Structure 1
Amino acid sequence: MPKRKKSKKLKEEKLEIPKEKVLEKQKADSCDDNLAEQIKIAVRGLYYISETDALIQPFVGKQAKAVSKQEILSQTKKAADSTIEEKDFAGFFARLTEIQDWFGDEEREIAQKFVQLKELLEKNLRDLKVFRIGKIQLDVYVIGLDAKDNLSGIETKAVET
């Protein structure tokens, strides 16, 4: 069967996206994917210590106008009347990054990983906040807005009786 020649008319009607726009979008998508991957690597092996040890995981949300209690409740599908408390970002990391005199090599390494995680979040997210949702068994979110205004950060659990 003979090959069909491409119609010039079809070729002319094709919409061309400027190369700069394509590269800009690829760079933005790459940054978002790259940030999620960087967070995934940074939290590997990290646990949040409360009355239980809970794994810390990346949190990737949807686009938001602001980092707010209502927004995090909505994006995590929690009831609007859930108990929610906002905490200071620096305060959250203070005890996790403080190196005590009695620390051995392993504890120092963990504290250093928390320092690196904190710096990664500060460098790549804005309006960083900590939300604790629930009573006794808490869902903890450390989130901010990324370059595309998506909620992003980390999540974990805590138990406090």
Structure 2
Amino acid sequence: MTNEITEKLKQAANGLLMMSESEYPFAVFLWSKQAQEPLTNQKLLQLTGHPQDKSVEEVELDYLFRNCAVEKEWHDEIQKQNVQKFQSLVKTLKDNLMDIRVYRIGMINIDVYILGKTPSGDLAGVSTKVVET
């Protein structure tokens, strides 16, 4: 079941780049049996291999994709196609994961983790980077 979810996420994220001052692809991750207890910032930093003193900020999923998943009048065809791909990624996340949370770790070079619970008690989602100076 969880393998199906990560496969769907891979397909939805394939070829997409997160837009910021740099563009980064999305990677799918799965943390087995990690959804049984609440996810603390400390546990998140441990799971992602970050030092415990890194800053962690939680944002809304729609806020994260506010510039990518909303079509604007001035978009060209390629940008419109990308908007549809981002909308598809958001839908895939919402259709397959419960209790979705978005975490930004660090400053300037920010690691972003979009994660939720699977029916089998795992944490799964996609990660990317954004650069904000």
Shift of 1:71: 2.6
| Structure having the higher Rg | 1
Shift of 1:47: 0.3
**Residues 21-49 of structure 1, C-alpha deviations (whole Å, 9 max, x = no match):** xxxxxxxxxx2111111111111110001
2:63 matches 1:88: no
Distance of 1:67 and 1:128 partners within structure 2 = 12
Flag the structure with more relative contact order, 1 or 2, with Cα contacts below 8 A and sequence separation at least 6.
2
Look up the match of 1:62. Answer: 32
SS at match of 1:70: helix
The amino acid of 2:27's aligned partner reads: Q
CA, structure 1 residues 77+35, in 2 after alignment: closer, same or farther (shift >3 Å)? same
2:121 matches 1:149: yes
TM-score (norm 2): 0.92
Which segment drifts farther, 71-80 or 43-52?
71-80
Look up the match of 1:135. Answer: 107
The amino acid of 1:56's aligned partner reads: F
The amino acid of 1:92's aligned partner reads: L
SS at match of 1:54: strand
From 79, 84, 97, the equivalent of 1:112 is: 84
2:12 matches 1:36: no
Distance of 1:47 and 1:111 partners within structure 2 = 11
Distance of 1:153 and 1:49 partners within structure 2 = 18
Distance of 1:86 and 1:107 partners within structure 2 = 27
Instruction: Quote the sequence identity (%).
Output: 31
Give the paired residue count: 131
Look up the match of 1:72. Answer: 44
CA, structure 1 residues 111+96, in 2 after alignment: closer, same or farther (shift >3 Å)? same
SS at match of 1:157: strand
**Residues 122-157 of structure 1, C-alpha deviations (whole Å, 9 max, x = no match):** 111111111111111111101111112211111001
Structure 1 runs of 4+ with >3 Å offset: none
Gaps of 5+ in 1: 1-30
The amino acid of 1:34's aligned partner reads: E
CA RMSD of aligned residues (A): 1.2
